[in-house]
Amino acid sequence: LVTTNATRYRLAAGNDKKLLEFGLRRAQGPDGAMSASRYCYVGGFDATSNVLAGKLFSIPVAGTHSHAYIMSFSGLKDLGLTQLYHQSGCDNKLFDLKSSAQKWLSTVSSILQIVEEEIVEGELAAYISYAIAFPSNFLALVDTYNVLRSGIPSFCAVALALDEAGYRAKGIRLDSGDLASLSKQTRYQFQLLADRLGKPWLASLTIVASNDINVASINSFNQQGHEINAFGIGTHLVTCQQQPSLGCVYKLVELNGNPRIKVSHDKYKVTIPANKKIYRLFGKNGKPLMDLLQKQTEPPPLKNQKILCRHPLEESKRVYVLPTKIEEIMQNYWMKGQLSNKLPLLADIRNYCRAQISSFGLDDHKMSTSPLHYKFTHRRAVVTIEPNIRSLRTLVVTKGRHRDKALAAQPYKDLANAYFSVVGLSSIDEKVPENQDVCGFVKKTMTSNVLNLYFGSCIAERLKCKLSAPNDAQKILDDGIRNGGTTEIIHQAVAALTKFNLKDANMNYPMRVSNGLASVGSTRLAYGADLPLCIHLLMKYSPSQCIGHQAVRINAYAFNTVAYLPKDANAGNFIDSISEVLNQADEIGDKYLQFDGGLRDTAVFVVGAYRLYDAKDVTPSIDGDQAIKFANYLVSKRHVGSVRDAFHVAIGFAALTKNKFQIPGSLVLISQPLVRKSDSNVVVKACNILGKPLQKMDIKATSIVSTEGNSIASNIELAQKSDGEYQFDFNKLNSERGFYTIHFGAMPVVQDNRLLGLKDSSIKVKKVADIAIESFKIKTSDKDQASVQKEIKATFPKELPSAVQADEHSNVMIEFVVKDLEKNVEILPQQAFLRVSCSKSNLDRSFLFTSRNDQLLSLELDVAELGKTAFYYQSGDYSMDIIIGDPTFSNQIYWKVGSLSLKFSKAGTVPSVKLSSLPKPEIQHVFRTPEKRPPALLSRAFTVLVMLPLVIMFVMWNVFGANVSNFSFTLPNIVFHLGLGAIFWLYYCYWSYLNMFTTLKYLAVIGGITFVSGSSALRAIANDRLKTELR
């Protein structure tokens, strides 16, 4: 963030201006100043005023003195040193800088037409003192008193004196006023002196500007014209006031090799899953076109080959790019807890940053206001069944949960639950338990209305019940079609008529209507002679311009209805409408496709669309990727809250596995994801989303890649194990233990264009090793003699036959190696530590083993130090346990080694830890310390003094009498005087105990009333006087 901000300043100032970071006082946080100096330098700043940052990071240091330094001098008498050695060092003679500066001051004042008395002597003294301390870096702050009539003349006098001593002044700094104008006037004075004195170097002195400068200030200076050579920037730079926070956060995108996504209704908060690489694509002119994101496991893009790039958030924005150059721009420097590459030097980072900024061809990308956004895209990937469901166990669990949810509705108590349960179970090819006479229950509860007739007919069809339609079913269903009012009711009525095998002569269903007009309620509909009436009604209730999830549901039920009509019946424009409705689906993370209405709308649409395509034998407008994304969405609904939701998932499954055109499939792992020596076969199953095997396939492991990106094998053919199952022996690859991604390609032996999602599948496996501990030794030695007193060997996993003896004069050394039993090689585990515990004293400590020599793990214990810091000089027997863990080990080791007997010459006390049950004191947040109020006695005394004139007035009234005869007892007069008295009383209260804000609140009310009433009283007095004068 700071680097970006610094780059904005560099772009605004241009490359010919110096930028100095002055943010030490303003940076936030304990190390904010250090990091700000570092990253400002990376972003293009030339130097910093932070001396420590300059020392630690080799950043050039630059700066001036403060105003306080100038003000600390009152005159030349305050000078301590007045001389310095000549720069040439000749004869080691001292040069009197003070005398020379005074001489030059007269000359400069004369040329600039300034009276010497106008020049502040203390300012001149400060410059002389500063120049003696920094003769080669004399850069003065000139705006403490008067820039043009004191600061510049004093500086020039000292600069000319330094020139006599062989030194060259740097320049001046302006920190207030109209910086652009002052810089031009200052440059004019420098030029004038250079011309008159024959000193050309004066004209090229550096002018530094500071004082709350931001990017807008620099742009304004550029528009006005200025003579500033360098900008000193602090507050706005290091606090990033233009954008004080970075508008992004870290989100989890992959865990243990599995992609993770955060879903949101706000598309800009939807994350792009999977671990990724970033490539920069360059055009013919050598300038960047865009940045491309793609998964780590995907092959890198190739130059001079067409790449389909798509906007990460807007599906409709996509473009083909033919790059002439490709550069991977993300480098990994930290992996598995340690550096994976040598870190570049700060200067190299700075040069890289500036080179990248310069490489952009369009200045529109670098504008300070309304810049053109640089594009980043992601690659169009092959869509497959989502990886986190690519497990047969997951599919079986998903199916099982929906089955259990449907079974939970038994025994059925209402027809709706019976319908959802029976139809849902049969859709996923599950039998309905015969623990209830469902057919009898349906016959008993099926009343004569459209909904119950629909439920009953569907259940009877699935269970093959001998169920006849009620006598009035024909009329009720006809009325439902004509007067139902929604496509859902029409669908239920048409479905029930079909399942009960009923015909309607009056409506001519499903016959054609012979005339050109038909009445629907009070509405007359025009239609072609070959359209069934129900089609007209569906078209009426499903207008093409509907927006939102209601439109999806309306049209989805219409598709289901039209599918019941005879194959040769005219379906109107409903087949074309499927594409229009499909455009309203939301794509999430390039994996899921759903509608705003959620599970119900999505499932009903999928069922209706495929039923209509099947009925009319029309190739679907739903493409293969969309079908897979619908499947991903349905399979992701493993957790459903009701039998109705389970029903919708089940019918969606059925539609995607039993249609004529598209069957999403997947290769799922049915073996354990752990590859062991005893069980090394990787077994996958080619199945549909219900877990049922597909036809015979040719399956190859196209590549096997480690987490480090190394390919260990390719094009391995899998052998068929059983129906739909295929396997290969992973151990034949002679691979190392670790995590691997296996990429599969599958093709049916007999070509079947219906199968989707099998061209590129991948699964994660982990190869583990059986391990053991060998060469285990415990050595005890005397610290003074530094020789081994005793060495004890042990064989894993047996315990030591006797305790290891040690006292405070001993060291205990433990060492061993861990061996991979399969490869018979020594390996280094991820974690190994020793646990030492004593049940008697309730002490428990752990110590980490380190690798001392190749694969040898060792640990040295200083018994005296342990007694002091860990065991509180508690003598006794301590148990020793060795714990070894590594995710690539098949057996994590917990070995009870034996006992360690410790003896200490003195006994200590184990401190007891007591947890207080008392409540914690409340934290009082004080955002501003209240100002200290004066003593009450002082406040009251001050109030009495203020009120004294009023008291004197009342005394005088009492002595000389008050003329109250002219007082008019009108309402405005009375309110005015009462208000005036209330204001005086409020004045007293303010000084006694009220604060300013409370006083102002009361004063606004009382003062307003007093002002209005006083104005009315004065107006009345004026009118009375006018009347008297007119008389």
Residue with tokens 């229009």, as numbered in its chain: 580
Rounded Cα gap, residues 614 and 887, in angstroms: 50
CA 292/CA 311 separation, integer angstroms:
10
Which of 193-202, 579-588, 719-728 bottoms out in mean pLDDT, i.e. has the lowest? 579-588
pLDDT reading at 70 higher than 90? yes
8 A C-beta contact, residue 755 and residue 694: yes
Q: What is the dihedral of CA 26, 29, 35, 40, to 10 degrees?
A: -30
What does the pLDDT look like over 913-942, one tens digit per residue?
665 666 777 776 665 666 677 778 877 787
Window from 313-317, 349-353, 611-615, 1009-1013 with minimum mean pLDDT: 313-317
Alpha-helical segments (H) within 513-623: 533-541, 549-562, 574-582, 599-616
What order do you get walking across the sheet with 761-767 strand by strand? 674-675, 761-767, 738-748, 697-706, 711-717
Whether cis (ω within 30° of 0) applies to the bond prior to 411 is: yes
What pLDDT score was predicted for residue 91?
57
pLDDT at position 521 is 33
Higher pLDDT among residues 189 and 639, named by residue: 189
Over residues 366-371, mean pLDDT: 68
Gap between the Cα atoms of 696 and 751, Å rounded = 10
Q: Which range (263-272, 384-393, 686-695, 745-754) has the least confidence?
A: 384-393
Residues 794-831: tens digit of each pLDDT: 999 899 888 999 888 888 999 999 998 888 888 989 88
Q: Which residue has the tokens 């307003």?
A: 1008
For 32, phi and psi rounded to 5 degrees? -65, -40
Beta-carbon contacts of 963 under 8 Å, excluding residues fewer than 6 positions away, are none
Share of the chain above pLDDT 90, in %: 23
pLDDT tens for 887-920 read: 889 888 999 999 999 898 888 787 776 656 667 7
- Asked if residue 191 has pLDDT above 70, the reply is yes
At residue 515, the pLDDT reads 31
Burial of 767 from C-beta contacts in 10 A (0-12 / 13-18 / 19+): buried
Closest CA to 763 of 724, 803, 730, 801: 730
What are the DSSP calls for 996-1015, one per residue? HHHHHHHHHHHHHHHHHHHH
Residue 533 has pLDDT above 60, yes or no: no
Give the other-Cβ count within 10 Å of 220's Cβ.
14
Query: Residue 543 pLDDT more than 80?
Result: no
Could you report the per-residue pLDDT of 280-299, keeping only the tens digit for each?
Answer: 888 888 888 888 888 888 88
Residues 632 and 588: their CA atoms lie apart, in Å, by: 11
Count Cβ neighbours within 10 Å for each residue of 177-209 and write b for 16 or more, e otherwise: eebbebbbebbebbeebbeebeeeebeebebbb
Q: What stretch of H or E contains 810?
A: strand 810-820
Residue 514, pLDDT > 70, answer: no
Report how far residue 77's alpha carbon sits from residue 58's, in angstroms, rounded to the nearest whole number. Answer: 39
C-beta atoms surrounding 455 within 10 Å: 25
Asked whether the beta carbons of 323 and 343 are under 8 A apart, the reply is no
pLDDT digits (tens, 9 = 90+) for 112-169: 999 888 899 999 999 999 999 999 999 999 999 999 999 999 999 999 999 999 899 9
Dihedrals φ, ψ of 278, to 5°? -125, 130
- Residue showing tokens 């100032």: 13
Confidence of residue 408 (pLDDT cuts 50, 70, 90): low
Peptide bond into 797 cis (omega under 30): yes
Residue 96 and residue 76 in contact, taking contact as beta carbons nearer than 8 Å? no
Helix and strand totals (H; E) in the chain: 27, 43
CA 1012, chain centre distance (Å): 58
Both tokens of residue 158? 């000292």
Instruction: Supply the angle between the helices 624-636 and 392-407 in degrees, to the nearest 10.
Output: 60
Q: Round to whole Å and give the CA distance between 301 and 277.
A: 11
Q: 979-999, pLDDT tens digit by residue?
A: 888 888 888 888 777 887 888
Report the alpha-carbon angle 193-198-201, nearest 5: 75
